[in-house]
């Protein structure tokens, strides 16, 4: 069995999801920079980036040599990703400190800077995968899914926390981010399935699975459909339908915790589907 | 193209899939179990009675535009200016495995025990001494040759447009094959 299938790239999945959550949370808390109930989320931005970067070290065969990954900033997309993410982490540290220390007057400006660096890190991450030698990844669905996950993972907790806040005026913006993120993620996953099937049909000889094609297709299909249901459709149904009433969806109720867990699970499944399709490629 | 770029010429019409080249490469490079720096693959097709098969032996193709050299974050790869051989420095490798994603031909292979990638270096130590790589000297059918790519391109039937191989425009591999008609990429 190829190494890609054995490892399943868990460290990279955690890294990308953590950084995307941090970026989305930075954006959502910047939108709500004067809302005190957002404090826990604002503080969480830096730890999330830190956890992601630490997880990415586990992907390396020689983690202690990680510093060498900045040696090729001129040409290497991976060097640039490490550099930009490091800048994001530094900015996130100051931003989270601003929430922790109550520096209200600095929060908005720091939030804008941190969010911008976060999006730069997310785009730099997406560019790692969109290389011409990876036909299944070299498509718009990868950056689409990254941006969708960023908005969804970051804005969902902010929305639930904000629903319990009296007089929150940014509810519509947060709802817009969640719905946009869900739709973007769902569309990207469907796009992935179409792109993979087309790529396999065009290049069946060089893009073949090393194990049963039926097993590969079944795993990919189940993962992708689950992701769409959990991270795409369910959040929109619950939030827009508001069937339980706004108070029930606030951060103080168990319902919001369950829905957040469902969103995280769905997004994680979508990310694993991305690594599954790469693992299914047969290199010479 | 680098002036003096060395390339492989493989006569796939002679290859009998004995895999002596694989074994010689593995032995010379002390490759661990599960790592084949040179691989021979068989391809089959057609419908009875017009069936066919052909064998393709491949290691690193020391491409003219190697993505591994361009994108390795640790600069563990260099392309020699004198002969275009793409050399991997295991001491600089951090085991990020990005090159295993980048290479269309699967040449870099991650060694989990060492925590770094290994790849065919065209037996540079032998080349620098004026000798042939292990695969070239070991092939009992003399199907594998190396030489200046400019000269190899002039050989009759030399092609890289082979069914089942990635498009050559991706990295412009420094390898040419002589193949059967059935192996040609349409």
- pLDDT tens digit sequence for A212-260: 566 667 777 777 787 887 777 777 777 666 544 555 566 566 777 888 8
**Is it true that the peptide bond before B49 is cis, omega within 30 degrees of 0?**
yes
In this prediction, residue A135 carries a pLDDT of: 87
A123: pLDDT strictly greater than 90: yes
> Mean pLDDT, to the nearest integer, of B87-112?
93
> Mean pLDDT, to the nearest integer, of A141-163?
91
Q: Do B96 and A78 touch (CB under 8 A)?
A: yes
- Poorest-confidence range of A5-9, A89-93, B29-33, B147-151? A5-9
* Residue A148 binned pLDDT confidence (cut-offs 50, 70, 90): very high
Cβ atoms within 10 Å of B46's Cβ, excluding its own: 10
- Token couple for A116: 């911008």
- pLDDT tens digit sequence for B101-123: 999 999 999 988 899 999 999 99
- Poorest-confidence range of A1-15, A24-38, A123-137, B153-167? A1-15
* Distance between CA atoms of residues A14 and A12, nearest Å: 5
Contact residues, chain B, for A205 at CB < 8 Å: 43, 163-164
Query: On the CB side of A174, how many CA atoms lie within 13 Å of its CA?
Result: 27
A24: pLDDT strictly greater than 90: yes
Q: Do B104 and A72 touch (CB under 8 A)?
A: no
Chain centre distance of CA B173: 8
Mean pLDDT estimate for chain A: 84
In this prediction, residue A222 carries a pLDDT of: 77
Structural domains in chain B (count): 1
| B164 Cβ under 8 Å from any chain A Cβ | yes
Mean pLDDT estimate for chain B: 93
Q: Do B116 and A61 touch (CB under 8 A)?
A: yes
In this prediction, residue A280 carries a pLDDT of: 56
| A58 Cβ under 8 Å from any chain B Cβ | no
Query: In CATH, what number is assigned to the domain containing residue B170?
Result: 3.30.70.20
| B67 Cβ under 8 Å from any chain A Cβ | yes
Q: Parallel, antiparallel, or unpaired: how do β-strands B39-47 and B175-178 relate? A: unpaired
Residues B92, A68: contact at Cβ < 8 Å? yes
Q: Do A60 and B94 touch (CB under 8 A)?
A: yes
Share of chain A above pLDDT 70, in %: 82
Cβ atoms within 10 Å of A202's Cβ, excluding its own: 11
* Distance between CA atoms of residues B149 and B9, nearest Å: 9
A194: pLDDT strictly greater than 60: yes
In this prediction, residue A243 carries a pLDDT of: 45
Size of interface A-B (CB pairs under 8 A): 102
Residue of B nearest to A200 (CA): B164
* Residue A2 binned pLDDT confidence (cut-offs 50, 70, 90): very low
B107 in a structural domain: yes
Q: Do A284 and B56 touch (CB under 8 A)?
A: yes
B1 in a structural domain: no
In this prediction, residue A215 carries a pLDDT of: 65
Q: Do B71 and A76 touch (CB under 8 A)?
A: yes
- pLDDT tens digit sequence for B44-70: 888 889 888 889 999 999 999 999 999
> Mean pLDDT, to the nearest integer, of A177-185?
91
User: Which helix (H) or strand (E) covers residue B176, if one does?
Assistant: strand B175-178
Please tell me which of the candidates A75, A128, A283 has its beta carbon nearest to residue B105: A283
List the domain range (segments joined by +) for residue B176: 6-183
For residues A3 and A252, the model is more confident at A252
| B32 Cβ under 8 Å from any chain A Cβ | no
A33: pLDDT strictly greater than 80: yes
φ/ψ region of A30 (left if φ > 0, alpha if ψ in -120 to 50, else beta) reads alpha
State whether ipTM is beyond 0.85: yes
Q: Which of A239-243, A279-283, B10-14 has the highest mean pLDDT?
A: B10-14
- DSSP code of A65? G
In this prediction, residue B30 carries a pLDDT of: 92
In this prediction, residue B33 carries a pLDDT of: 86
Collapsing DSSP to helix, strand or coil, A13 comes out as: helix
Q: Do A59 and B96 touch (CB under 8 A)?
A: yes
In this prediction, residue A207 carries a pLDDT of: 42
**Domains and their CATH numbers in chain A:** 3-279 (1.20.1630.10)
In this prediction, residue A240 carries a pLDDT of: 65
- Poorest-confidence range of A31-40, A100-109, A208-217, B8-17? A208-217
In this prediction, residue A228 carries a pLDDT of: 80
Residues B67, B103: contact at Cβ < 8 Å? yes
Beta pairing partners, A142: none
In this prediction, residue A245 carries a pLDDT of: 54
């Amino acid at each position: 069995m190829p190494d890609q299938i054995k490892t399943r790239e868990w460290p990279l999945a955690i890294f990308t999801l953590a950084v995307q959550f941090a970026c989305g949370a930075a954006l959502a808390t910047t939108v709500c920079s004067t809302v005190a109930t957002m404090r826990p989320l604002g503080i969480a931005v830096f730890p999330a980036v830190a956890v992601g970067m630490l997880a990415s070290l586990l992907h390396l065969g020689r983690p202690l040599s990680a510093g060498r990954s900045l040696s090729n900033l001129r040409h290497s997309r991976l060097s640039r990703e490490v550099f930009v993410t490091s800048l994001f982490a530094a900015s996130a540290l100051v931003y989270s400190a601003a929430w922790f220390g109550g520096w209200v007057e600095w929060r908005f400006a720091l939030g804008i800077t941190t969010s911008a660096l976060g999006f730069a890190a997310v785009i730099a991450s997406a560019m790692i995968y969109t290389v011409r030698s990876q036909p299944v990844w070299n498509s718009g669905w990868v950056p689409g899914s990254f941006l969708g996950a960023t908005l969804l993972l970051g804005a969902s907790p902010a929305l639930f926390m904000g629903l319990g806040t009296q007089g929150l005026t940014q509810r519509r913006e947060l709802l817009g981010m969640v719905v946009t993120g869900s739709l973007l993620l769902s569309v990207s996953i469907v796009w992935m399935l179409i792109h993979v099937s087309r790529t396999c049909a065009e290049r069946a000889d060089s893009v073949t699975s090393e194990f049963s094609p039926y097993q590969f297709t079944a795993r990919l299909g189940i993962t992708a459909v689950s992701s769409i249901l959990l991270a795409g459709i369910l959040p929109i149904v619950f939030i827009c339908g508001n069937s339980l009433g706004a108070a029930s969806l606030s951060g103080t109720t168990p319902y919001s915790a369950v829905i957040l867990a469902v969103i995280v699970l769905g997004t994680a499944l979508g990310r694993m589907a991305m690594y599954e399709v790469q693992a299914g490629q047969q290199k010479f | 193209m680098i002036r003096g770029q060395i390339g492989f010429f493989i006569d796939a019409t002679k290859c009998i899939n004995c895999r002596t080249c694989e074994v010689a490469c593995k032995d010379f490079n002390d490759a661990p179990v599960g790592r084949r720096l040179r691989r021979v693959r068989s391809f089959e097709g057609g419908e009875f009675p017009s069936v066919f098969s052909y064998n393709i032996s491949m290691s690193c193709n020391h491409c003219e535009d190697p993505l591994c050299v361009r994108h390795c974050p640790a600069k563990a790869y260099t392309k020699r200016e004198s002969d275009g051989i793409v050399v991997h420095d295991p001491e600089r490798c951090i085991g990020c495995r990005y090159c295993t994603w980048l290479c269309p031909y699967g040449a870099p292979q991650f060694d989990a025990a060492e925590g770094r990638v290994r790849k065919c270096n065209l037996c540079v130590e032998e080349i620098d001494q004026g000798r042939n790589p292990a695969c070239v000297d070991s092939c009992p059918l003399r199907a594998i040759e190396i030489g200046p790519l400019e000269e190899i391109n002039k050989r009759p039937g030399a092609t890289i447009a082979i069914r089942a191989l990635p498009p050559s425009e991706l990295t412009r591999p420094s390898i040419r094959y002589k193949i059967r008609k059935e192996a040609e990429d349409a």
